[in-house]
């Protein structure tokens, strides 16, 4: 309904004339109501301030008269403290330290004057910000203004450039100003004013296109990146210059500036118009990337122009900024995060995808506007679908996105299909799949938005393209670009235009795929060769060089029924060139090759086809167009993706680096980082060899032999985890291990075996961490792997084995996971069973641990303003950069004589090893002061594959004791220690971890110092 209006407006207000039959004309055809802006700004990096005066001419587009104008001032947003935790989690997902983006307490944008201009008169208005996020500036009008009427508003304001990463700020010498300028909210005849609340975790923008004329003052030596194009440059007083810019019909007016920018320029040829100038402004040491990126964007502009209509502006600017996000589209400008520029050359495939995705937004967001707040799937789905389509053509389907140098090809790669499917497939299996047509508030977080509004939505556009044929689909997009340029396209418009274009009603289709659950799992039930001896399974039969008749039975599950096709590949062919239509209830006959499709009971479909030779492979939905959560049942290729490696780590066992349509088998030398400890099963850092099997969202497991650093022994073992079993939010697994060699005195050849099931309530985005929140049940048999204790309390008895069943709960509110700067974590365990002590007896064991991490407060704030406060402030601020981490741990067990708990260990009392005190009751308290020595390092290794970002020192104090049979093992033990912590990144922003080296000395005991190595903070 809302969209009907926009359409009507186009007609009544004399929008586009009769549609051209070929590409839209390069000549812009603007709707008459677009707002006109006149901006004067001085960007003063020295003062960290932008001083702005902005004149806005707003034209009533039609509909009821208005008595107020709503201006969206998103830069006036301040994150409420209650939302900091959620936002920190979003930043964690982007692998950004929340400290680098959060913590601003007052709005960056402050209005000094809001006035209504009438001729020469400017009448000042009260500047009141309201709306759900405090970003709507309401300007009352003295007289109502009706259709075609104009209002001129003058805003004088300042934008403070905080030292923060994000949409607006100044970080490391780069000014970033995106969606920073106040603009009128969208006004529709039926909706009235429709301002977009500001949600910082995506692009909640619904902007009318606008005409901007700007004069921007910057210091000499600074380079400016902007929407539009430069028209003049003049000196503006000593040390300053003024750059005049014009941007016609763009969605927003964004800027970036730095004195460290170099400029790479190229031109994109576009049929029917002058070449488009592509300018990339990058930090000087990223020149190579800048040239590469310019070429990628230019190439994308040429192709998209031929697909969807000519790029309408003279220039496209791409600026490197410290944005936190990978990339973000603007009005004829794209901001790319500095971390993309520091990706190694081997990740060029990812950069290529990102640049062509962001460039595509110039068609969907900038030229044709969408409602990023209420319908984020429109522009994101189209940009994702079309950028993958472009890559399909350029690189072939499913190309490997990482390009390793010779000799490193064994490292885990990223198949593009896995990159594209992973987000949605993860949601679908975890039970979070949802309709595509939703607003940002309904999605609620970035993981759901990415999986649904990007990945799944893009697939729906692909289904459309498949149904229509590529040529017709692109012609349709051209017609939408022609009719909706400089306007706003809503989902309802898209549906209506499609019906008009095709002469066919698509309501059912969009009910299924946009508004409905939209999930469809086609599977091959049987594929058999039929000859004189009867049917034989295809996969196991010998290839025959004679005519063959095959029978395929296909079934479909999932809430959505959608037609697809069956693809067949004969020996020597590529892909699946033979196609046969398949749909529930379909009856179909074909001649080339001879084929019959017949419906079977239960909605299954049978395909009989006669082929010249036995096929090599058969696949249902061979282009993987449908959102199908189980791709491995679509084809007959049973051979797994086999990958030997020289270093097997968790990076080899995840959805991103494995084929997601089949089993993956990985074999090689193995490094296992004990990044967490389970209550029932501590797995320490292990070095050895492993053979593993992985199937996306279903199973991971393997067999291994390895040396364990904590226990100083060698074990052989087997492990396995079934994902989403018995239900979507569950994980069920097993593990068994036997010691085969020990370097310390202990029980010989102990065995342990465990079975667990875990209910996950808050998943982790990291590829190597446990979920944040879960509850689990487990049963375990364990021999005693602990070394013989040197300080066993009087009366304590060493157990030889335990058999228990238990319960464990974890709630983890620490962020970010690689080095928490805030939050808490709580673990509790209870278990019961039997233990073999001197006699076999029942046993009960419980333990709990609480951890709290906090930055120290800025103590200068308690001092009154004045000289003392100013003098103290630098020290107070340095102190506020340090963190205090506290841990309280306690465990107790029955019978009281059983030495069930070790006191020492790298994640426990660090002054002892496992062999020192053991007891039935153990407690440990720890206080750790984490002091950053160097922050924001840009040190990278191996061509940026890995990098070091922060070096911290930790000073700690551990206190604890072990008791058994009512006796303490000794006096309460105190240990002091120090450590270094290296915060490292993998592939710039793909993964982060902290490596720690700790040293601790127990006081007053005759034990030597202990050295520990671990991954991430010890608690
Ligand atoms: Zn996008």
Strand 578-582: give its sheet, edge to edge: 578-582, 564-569, 617-620
Whole-angstrom distance, CA of residue 523 vs CA of residue 662: 13
CA of 454 from ligand 1 middle (Å) equals 8
Closest by CA to 208, choosing from 26, 57, 78, 323, is 57
DSSP string, 2-66: HHHHHHHHHHHTT-S-SPPSSSPPSS----TT--EEEEEEEEETTTTEEEEEEEEEEE--SSS-E
Q: Are 311 and 304 in contact (CB under 8 A)?
A: yes
DSSP string, 812-825: E--BSTTS-SBEEE
CA of 381 from ligand 1 middle (Å) equals 8
Burial 524-548 (b: 16+ CB within 10 A, else e): beebbbeeeeeeeebeeeeeeeeeb
CA of 366 from ligand 1 middle (Å) equals 12
CA of 440 from ligand 1 middle (Å) equals 14
CA angle 917, 920, 926 (to 5 degrees): 60
CA of 110 from ligand 1 middle (Å) equals 30
CA of 178 from ligand 1 middle (Å) equals 15
Q: Give the tens place of pLDDT for each residue, 344-391.
A: 888 999 999 999 999 999 999 999 999 999 999 999 999 999 999 999
CA of 457 from ligand 1 middle (Å) equals 12
CA angle 50, 54, 55 (to 5 degrees): 175
DSSP 513: I
Closest by CA to 896, choosing from 836, 819, 843, is 843
Whole-angstrom distance, CA of residue 625 vs CA of residue 647: 34
CB atoms within 10 A of CB 592: 6
CA of 774 from ligand 1 middle (Å) equals 32
Q: Exposed, middle or buried, 377 (CB in 10 Å: 0-12/13-18/19+)?
A: buried
Whole-angstrom distance, CA of residue 454 vs CA of residue 420: 9
Whole-angstrom distance, CA of residue 709 vs CA of residue 688: 11
- Taken in order 400, 403, 409, 410, the sign of the CA dihedral is negative
- Taken in order 470, 472, 477, 481, the sign of the CA dihedral is positive
CA of 448 from ligand 1 middle (Å) equals 15
Structure tokens at 806: 């238990």
pLDDT, residue 23, reads: 42
CA of 443 from ligand 1 middle (Å) equals 16
Phi-psi label, residue 434: left if phi above 0, alpha if psi -120 to 50, beta otherwise = beta
CA of 202 from ligand 1 middle (Å) equals 10
Closest by CA to 296, choosing from 311, 329, 318, is 318
CA of 581 from ligand 1 middle (Å) equals 33
CA of 361 from ligand 1 middle (Å) equals 7
Whole-Å CA distances, 779 to 29, 50, 668, 801, 842? 71, 62, 30, 13, 15
CA of 741 from ligand 1 middle (Å) equals 54
CA of 359 from ligand 1 middle (Å) equals 9
CA of 607 from ligand 1 middle (Å) equals 40
pLDDT, residue 1009, reads: 93
CA of 685 from ligand 1 middle (Å) equals 39
CA of 358 from ligand 1 middle (Å) equals 6
Q: Are 535 and 528 in contact (CB under 8 A)?
A: yes
Q: Are 344 and 401 in contact (CB under 8 A)?
A: no
CA of 316 from ligand 1 middle (Å) equals 16
CA of 209 from ligand 1 middle (Å) equals 18
CA of 253 from ligand 1 middle (Å) equals 18
pLDDT, residue 2, reads: 29
Whole-angstrom distance, CA of residue 14 vs CA of residue 28: 14
pLDDT, residue 677, reads: 59
CA of 191 from ligand 1 middle (Å) equals 26
Closest by CA to 884, choosing from 854, 907, 925, is 854
Whole-angstrom distance, CA of residue 970 vs CA of residue 25: 88
DSSP string, 283-318: EGGGHHHHHHHHHHHHHHHHHHHHHH----SSEEEE
CA of 904 from ligand 1 middle (Å) equals 50
- Distance from first CA to last CA of the chain, Å, rounded? 55
CA of 328 from ligand 1 middle (Å) equals 7
pTM: 0.91
Whole-Å CA distances, 36 to 55, 284, 339? 8, 35, 35
Whole-Å CA distances, 585 to 392, 467, 513, 561? 32, 18, 20, 11
Q: Give the tens place of pLDDT for each residue, 975-1017.
A: 999 999 999 988 878 889 999 999 999 999 888 899 988 888 9
CA of 980 from ligand 1 middle (Å) equals 39
Phi/psi of residue 790, nearest 5 degrees? -90, -20
CA of 357 from ligand 1 middle (Å) equals 6
Residue with tokens 């379909």: 586
Q: Are 440 and 373 in contact (CB under 8 A)?
A: yes
Phi/psi of residue 306, nearest 5 degrees? -75, -30
Q: Are 827 and 770 in contact (CB under 8 A)?
A: no
CA of 107 from ligand 1 middle (Å) equals 27
CA of 384 from ligand 1 middle (Å) equals 7
Residue with tokens 């994980």: 731
- Taken in order 737, 743, 744, 746, the sign of the CA dihedral is positive
Neighbours of ion ligand 1 (CB under 5 A): 380, 383
Burial 958-976 (b: 16+ CB within 10 A, else e): bbbbbbbbebbbbeebbbe
Whole-angstrom distance, CA of residue 785 vs CA of residue 751: 8
CA of 760 from ligand 1 middle (Å) equals 30
CA of 624 from ligand 1 middle (Å) equals 22
Whole-angstrom distance, CA of residue 877 vs CA of residue 859: 8
Q: Which helix (DSSP H) or strand (DSSP E) does residue 658 occupy?
A: none
CA of 380 from ligand 1 middle (Å) equals 5
Whole-angstrom distance, CA of residue 434 vs CA of residue 425: 12
Whole-angstrom distance, CA of residue 551 vs CA of residue 636: 13
Q: Exposed, middle or buried, 400 (CB in 10 Å: 0-12/13-18/19+)?
A: middle
CA of 332 from ligand 1 middle (Å) equals 14
Whole-angstrom distance, CA of residue 751 vs CA of residue 783: 5
Q: Are 976 and 989 in contact (CB under 8 A)?
A: no
CA of 365 from ligand 1 middle (Å) equals 9
Q: Are 491 and 475 in contact (CB under 8 A)?
A: no
CA of 27 from ligand 1 middle (Å) equals 27
CA of 364 from ligand 1 middle (Å) equals 9
CA of 354 from ligand 1 middle (Å) equals 9
Regions of the chain where pLDDT drops below 50: 1-26
**Residue 846: which residues within 8 A CB-CB, separation 6 or more?**
828, 829, 830, 831, 891, 892, 893
Q: Which helix (DSSP H) or strand (DSSP E) does residue 559 occupy?
A: none
CA of 374 from ligand 1 middle (Å) equals 15
CA dihedral of residues 892, 897, 900, 905 (deg, nearest 10): 90
Radius of gyration of the chain (CA): 32
CA of 356 from ligand 1 middle (Å) equals 10
Structure tokens at 529: 């060769």
CA of 383 from ligand 1 middle (Å) equals 6
CA of 924 from ligand 1 middle (Å) equals 49
């Amino acid at each position: 309904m809302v969209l009907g209006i926009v359409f009507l407006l186009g007609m009544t207000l004399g929008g586009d004339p009769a549609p051209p039959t070929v590409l839209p004309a390069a000549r812009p055809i603007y709707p008459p109501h677009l707002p006109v802006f006149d901006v004067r700004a001085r960007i003063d990096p020295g003062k960290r301030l932008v001083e702005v005066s902005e004149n806005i001419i707003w034209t009533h587009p039609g509909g009821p008269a208005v008595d107020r104008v709503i201006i969206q001032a998103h830069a006036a947003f301040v994150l409420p403290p209650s939302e900091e935790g959620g936002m920190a989690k979003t930043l964690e997902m982007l692998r950004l330290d929340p400290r680098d983006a959060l913590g601003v307490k007052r709005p960056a944008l402050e209005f000094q004057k809001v006035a209504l201009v009438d001729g020469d008169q400017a009448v000042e208005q009260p500047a009141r910000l309201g709306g759900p996020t405090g970003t709507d500036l309401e300007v009352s009008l003295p007289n109502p203004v009706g259709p075609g009427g104009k209002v001129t508003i003058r805003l004088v304001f300042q934008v403070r450039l905080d030292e923060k990463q994000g949409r607006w700020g100044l970080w490391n010498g780069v000014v970033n100003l995106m969606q920073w300028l106040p603009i009128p909210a969208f006004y529709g005849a039926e909706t009235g004013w429709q301002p977009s609340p500001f949600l910082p975790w995506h692009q909640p923008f619904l902007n009318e296109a606008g005409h901007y004329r700007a004069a921007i003052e910057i210091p000499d030596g600074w380079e400016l990146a902007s929407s539009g194009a430069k028209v003049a440059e003049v000196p503006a007083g000593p040390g300053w210059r003024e750059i005049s810019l014009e941007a016609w019909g763009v969605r927003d007016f964004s800027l970036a500036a730095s004195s460290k920018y170099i400029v790479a320029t190229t031109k994109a040829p576009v049929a029917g118009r002058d070449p488009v100038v592509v300018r990339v402004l990058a930090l000087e040491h990223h020149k190579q990337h800048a040239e590469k990126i310019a070429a990628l964007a230019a190439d994308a502009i040429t192709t998209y122009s031929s697909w969807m209509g000519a790029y309408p502006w003279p220039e496209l600017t791409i600026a490197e900024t410290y944005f936190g996000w990978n990339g973000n589209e603007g009005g004829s400008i794209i901001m790319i995060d500095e971390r993309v520029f520091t990706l190694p050359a081997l990740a060029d495939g990812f950069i290529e995808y990102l640049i062509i995705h962001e460039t595509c937004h110039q068609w969907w967001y900038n030229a044709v506007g969408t409602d990023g707040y209420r319908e984020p799937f429109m522009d994101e789905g189209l940009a994702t679908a079309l950028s993958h389509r472009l890559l399909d053509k350029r690189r072939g389907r499913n190309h490997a996105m990482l390009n390793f140098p010779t000799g490193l090809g064994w490292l885990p790669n990223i198949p593009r299909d896995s990159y594209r499917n992973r987000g949605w497939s993860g949601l679908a299996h975890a039970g979070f799949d949802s309709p595509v047509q939703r607003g940002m508030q309904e999605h609620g977080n970035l993981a759901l938005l990415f999986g649904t509004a990007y990945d799944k939505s893009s697939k729906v556009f692909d289904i459309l393209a498949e149904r229509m044929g590529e040529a017709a689909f692109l012609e349709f997009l051209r017609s939408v670009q022609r009719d909706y340029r400089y306007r706003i396209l809503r989902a309802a418009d898209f549906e209506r235009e499609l019906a008009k274009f095709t002469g066919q009603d698509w309501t059912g289709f969009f009910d299924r795929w946009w508004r409905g659950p939209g999930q469809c799992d086609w599977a091959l039930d049987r594929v058999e060769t039929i000859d004189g001896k009867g049917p034989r399974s295809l996969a196991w039969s010998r290839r025959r060089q004679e005519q063959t008749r095959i029978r395929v039975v296909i079934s479909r599950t999932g809430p959505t029924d959608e037609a697809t096709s069956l693809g067949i590949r004969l020996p020597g062919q590529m892909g699946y060139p033979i196609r046969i239509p398949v749909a529930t209830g379909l009856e179909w006959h074909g001649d080339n090759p001879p084929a019959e499709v017949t419906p079977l009971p239960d909605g299954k479909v049978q395909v009989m086809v006669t082929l010249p030779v036995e096929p090599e492979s058969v696949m249902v939905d061979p282009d993987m167009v449908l959102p199908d959560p189980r791709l491995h049942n679509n084809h007959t290729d049973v051979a797994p993706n086999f990958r030997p490696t020289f270093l097997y780590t968790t990076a080899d066992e995840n959805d991103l680096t494995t084929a997601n349509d089949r089993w993956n088998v990985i074999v090689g030398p193995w490094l296992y980082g004990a990044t967490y400890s389970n209550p029932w099963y501590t797995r320490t850092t292990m070095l050895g060899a492993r053979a593993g099997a992985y199937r996306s969202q279903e199973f991971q497991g393997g067999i291994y032999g390895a040396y364990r650093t904590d226990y100083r022994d060698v074990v052989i073992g087997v492990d396995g985890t079934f994902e989403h079993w018995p239900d979507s939010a569950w994980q069920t697994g097993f593990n068994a291990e036997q010691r085969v060699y020990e370097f310390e005195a202990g029980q010989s050849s102990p065995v342990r075996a465990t079975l667990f099931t875990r209910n996950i309530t808050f998943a982790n985005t990291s590829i190597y961490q446990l979920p944040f929140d879960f509850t689990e049940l487990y049963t375990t048999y364990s021999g005693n792997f602990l070394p013989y204790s040197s300080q066993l309390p009087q009366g304590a008895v060493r157990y030889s084995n335990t058999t228990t069943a238990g319960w464990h709960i974890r709630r983890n509110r620490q962020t970010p996971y690689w080095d928490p700067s805030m939050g808490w974590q709580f673990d509790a365990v209870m278990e019961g069973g039997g233990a073999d002590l001197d006699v076999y007896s029942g046993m009960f064991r419980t333990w709990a641990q609480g951890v709290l991490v906090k930055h120290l407060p800025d103590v200068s704030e308690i001092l009154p303003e004045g000289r003392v406060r100013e003098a103290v402030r630098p020290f107070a601020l340095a102190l506020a950069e340090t963190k205090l981490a506290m841990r309280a741990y306690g465990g107790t067990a029955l019978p009281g004589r059983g030495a069930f708990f070790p006191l020492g260990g790298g994640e426990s009392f660090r002054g002892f090893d496992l062999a020192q005190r053991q007891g039935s009751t153990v407690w440990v308290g720890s206080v750790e002061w984490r002091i950053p020595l160097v922050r924001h390092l840009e040190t990278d290794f191996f061509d940026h594959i890995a990098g070091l970002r922060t070096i911290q020192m930790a000073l700690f104090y551990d206190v604890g004791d072990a008791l058994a049979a009512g006796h303490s093992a000794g006096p309460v033990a105190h240990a002091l220690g120090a450590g270094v912590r290296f915060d490292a990144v993998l592939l710039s922003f793909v993964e982060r971890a902290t490596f720690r080296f700790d040293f601790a000395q127990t006081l007053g005991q005759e034990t030597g110092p202990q050295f520990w190595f671990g991954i991430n903070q010890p608690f």
